[in-house]
Amino acid sequence: MLGNLGGVLRPVVGFDLDLTLVDPRAGVAASYRELSRRTGVPIDADEVATRVGPQLELELARWFPPADVPAVADTYREIFAVHGVPATTALGGAAAALAEVRRQGGRSVVITAKSEPLARATLDRLGLAPDDLLAWRWADGKTRALAETAADLYVGDHVADMRAAAAAGVRAVGVTTGADDADALIAAGADVVLGSVAEFPAWLSAYLLPARVAALDAALRPLGSVVVAFSGGADSAFVLAAAVRALGPDKVVAATAVSPSLPGHELAAAATFAAGLGVRHETPRTNEMARDGYRANDGNRCYFCKSELLDVLRPLADELGIGYVATGTNADDAVAGFRPGIRAADERGAVTPLRDAGFTKDQVRVASREWGLSTWDKPALACLSSRVAYGVAITPQRLGRVERAEVALRAAIVAAGATVRDLRVRDLGDSARVEVDAELVDWLLARPDVLGAVAGFEGVEVDPRGFRSGSMNDLLTRPS
């Protein structure tokens, strides 16, 4: 069962180390050759490397008298620090697997039979950073470690890992990067078997999704009624649809703020989507331009924009007799770094059901597709002001220039026979920087006729890195 801390589902995921996250076999073989040289005991180092996983002393007992094993084990560990750690490599996807646990709001714990110093040295050298490390654990020791950490999942390559997870009552995820194949792992208690830890992020996201959907429903039902700040994007559309499911269309209002920062075509799309759900659609006008901090665009622009939005929607909700205003902030947004708009919404009491339920952007899209929502694959589309470089004043004329440029460039790309998903025209003041899907960059660089659709700027360049959400933050010196 997944833990629920502070209203956000936070899985605790245990990982074995050797042949789950890292491949130590070359280092093991090199270390046993050196051990054989030092002790004079013949050891088939290549054969030993095929049995990576179990406690060191168990392997040494195959080659040395029982009385000698403790001292030889100490010698081996000294050798491995010199010969083994540098030869150990990270398995593909190891860093991404740990990162995904953190992205999902959880904690990662490496639980390994390896000694603590060698495990720590290995992780540090390879840049792998779990939240915790429990070493010297094998068989029953792993079972106890899983209980101690209140783990929900354990990922490992060895049949003993699967037995430990089963004994601890946690879900066992096997990977076939070790000596044991899928049949052996399943026979030992694996609930699921993956080809490698590289497959784990996608699996974890899908595994958590049903719990996230249930948590979202549980977060919405107590509200009774809600106004959803509905930009028309994938996140707010999903919140709107979830609110209708939880509360019924008569208890939900979609509110799309109309201002120069909203692309014109988005308003019509938002109205169509709301009508399809059978909810009332309000289009209140906001006046961000009246706020000095918004116009100045000094890095806190989103704070003033969101403040204006909530200061308009809260009275609207009161007028309609609705107790709450919800935004589409998701769990990825909450950990994405500099987000002053989130702070403004929190200060004004907006509820964030997606964030509270732990929904990532990917999960929003998957669930939206399962629900048949047309917005499931809609490209991210932040307000027009996000295209303007910090320090360049926001004006209606500037926003209009950006919108016209984006509409014209998208049309030109399509007319030239190419397909574009994400496209931004960044206003740098006098010049513009165009961002498109990474695979389209070289094509666009070779098509000055298409790029010429961007008008109204003294110069136009193409960002060779392609589209990156929040790329303007690269140029930002954040205010204290």
Say which range, 7-16, 19-28, 224-233, has the weakest mean pLDDT: 7-16
Residue type, 72: V
pLDDT tens-place string over residues 448-460:
999 999 999 999 9
Look at residue 479 in the predicted model and tell me its pLDDT: 39
For residue 58, the Cα-to-chain-centroid distance in whole angstroms is 40
Q: Which residues, 6+ apart, have CB-to-CB distance to 244 below 8 Å?
A: 252, 277, 278, 279
Quote the pTM value.
Answer: 0.83
* pLDDT-derived band at 337, boundaries 50, 70, 90: low
Q: Residue 178 is which amino acid? A: G
Tokens (6 digits) for 47:
């054969």
Tokens of 237: 């559309």
CA angle 456, 462, 465 (to 5 degrees): 145
pLDDT at 470: 64
**Mean per-residue pLDDT over the chain, rounded:** 92
| Cα 17 to Cα 350: distance, rounded to the nearest angstrom | 42
Amino acid, res. 435: E
- What pLDDT is stored for residue 260 in this prediction? 79
Please check whether the two domains, 224-378 and 385-475, share a CATH topology: no
Q: How confident is the model over 27-86, as pLDDT tens digits?
A: 999 999 999 999 999 999 999 999 998 889 999 999 999 999 999 999 999 999 999 999
Secondary structure (3-state) at 173: strand
Rounded-to-integer distance, Cα 306 and Cα 308, Å: 5
Domain boundaries, the chain: 4-22+89-207, 25-84, 224-378, 385-475
- Alpha-carbon distances, residue 441 vs 89, 386, 450 (angstroms): 33, 21, 12
Name which of 70-84, 312-326, 369-383 the model is least confident about.
369-383
pLDDT above 70 (res 472): no
Q: What whole-number distance in Å separates Cα of residue 305 and Cα of residue 298? A: 13
Containing 229, the helix (H) or strand (E) segment is strand 226-229
**Each residue of 288-312: b (16+ CB within 10 Å) or e?**
bbebebbbbbbbbbbbbbbbbbbeb
Torsion, Cα of 385, 391, 397, 402 (10° steps)? -50
Helix (H) or strand (E) holding 254: strand 252-255
Residues 6+ apart with CB under 8 A from 223: 243, 247, 323, 324, 326, 351
Going by pLDDT thresholds of 50, 70 and 90, the confidence category of residue 294 is confident
Q: What is the number of alpha carbons within 13 Å of residue 378 lying toward its C-beta?
A: 22
Determine the number of helices (DSSP H) and then strands (DSSP E) in the chain. Answer: 21, 17
Q: What is the dihedral of CA 152, 102, 435, 430, to 10 degrees?
A: 150
2 φ, ψ (degrees, to nearest 5): -85, 140
Percent of the chain at pLDDT > 70 equals: 95
224-378 to CATH, choices 3.10.105.10, 3.20.20.210, 3.40.50.620, 3.40.50.720: 3.40.50.620
Mode of pairing for the β-strands spanning 12-15 and 107-111: parallel
> How many CB atoms sit inside 10 A of residue 419's CB?
9
How is residue 205 written in tokens?
């996201």
* Structure confidence by residue, pLDDT tens digits, 241-292: 999 999 999 999 999 999 877 777 789 999 999 999 999 999 999 998 898 8
52: left (phi over 0), alpha (psi -120 to 50) or beta: beta
b/e 2-20 (16+ beta carbons within 10 angstroms → b): beeeeebbbbbbbbbbbbb
CATH class of 385-475: alpha beta
Q: Which residue has the tokens 């909810």?
A: 279
4 pLDDT band, cuts 50/70/90, is very low
**How do the residues of the chain divide into helix, strand and coil, expressed in percent and rounded to 5?**
50, 15, 35
Output the six-digit token pair for 380.
Answer: 């991210």
H/E element, 309: helix 301-320
CATH of 4-22+89-207, one of 2.40.10.10, 3.40.630.30, 3.40.50.2300, 3.40.50.1000: 3.40.50.1000
pLDDT at residue 301, rounded to an integer: 87
Residue type, 34: E
